[in-house]
Structure 1
Amino acid sequence: MADQVLSALERLFARWLNQGTNQGSLPLCQWDASWRSPCELGEPHAGQIAWRPTRRDSAEDFSALEQALELTLHPAIKAFYGHWFSRPLPLWFKGLQLTLLQPWNGDDLDLLKENQIGHLLMLRKLKREPSLFLASCRGDMALVSLDNQSGEVIFERLDSGKRVVLSPDLASFLARLEP
């Protein structure tokens, strides 16, 4: 499962980068001296720096998060967030515009974990099944998430609790994303 997610994520990053390099350059982002990342390439120029998704040297350990929540995280979510650094990626899934989330650096991963905790605690309070967000959508109250029990990728309306299955698993979802 985790290997399939990692392979699909790597292929997605390659497709995304190929689109940018076909247009003549690597992606640029605003450079912030206090928010560095292993994704950064070269030196900043005019307040911007080139970057690309970068595989981490070692996988992130999510055991403390699992213990704090008393919840075993689905292996797909640990593979998705635990092996790469990247900027959020604007992508499409069957006409749905979304922003796929990834941590930019170790501190960003810590913030992402805190936000996942908040999301899971909110779902518990509302007596909903646990999910972990993967992407934001245009509306503030809509997310693309991973159902922690089934491993399905879902479109989740936070205001109503409505869920629609987008893909049977994360690897298949990643394979169908388009830059």
Structure 2
Amino acid sequence: MVKKPHVLILPYPSQGHINPMLQFAKRLVYKGVDATLVNTISISNSTKADPTSHIAVETISDGFDEGGWMAAESTEAYLKSLQKVGSQTLADLIKRLADSSRPVRAVIYDGFLPWVLDVAKLCGVLAVVFFTQSCAVNSVYYHVNRGLLQVPLAKPRVSLPGLPELEATDTPSFVHVYGSYPAWARVR
């Protein structure tokens, strides 16, 4: 009997990120892949599992198991803890599953969690980034990251290749209200 490939689906712990990745996991299951959604402990404790789902759920710690990001003193503190504690607990999860009947073949991770790539490499599993935003938003992020779109925005309109001209307010909030989310501006 051929075993189904097993993948971990790791969204950023926020509704706008979990839901798209959960829908993607459902499509993978429909195609014959064994998918496990990985949430933080605090997110898992605050949600109810769907008993009819074919998607397993596992947890990792973000360092704020009682309250999640709301328990952190700042977004920056939360992101640092999520990376530090999440990296270790994700590696522990992958190692634990490696010794089970369902070893992990790949980790599909949210683009807001770039550190997951390093964890997957250390554990010897394939890693694939998944972007929960539209391609237009990803294009804006790319151009800001590469310095091709200077922030703060100097003009009320933004022109990027392959996109219609955008109003500044059509860009992500930390781009058009520069400095509004400083921790997100440094996520790479």
TM-score (norm: length of structure 2): 0.27
Larger radius of gyration: 2
Structure that is richer in helix per residue: 2
Quick one: higher RCO (CA 8 Å, sep 6+), 1 or 2? 1
Provide the TM-score with structure 1 as the length reference: 0.28
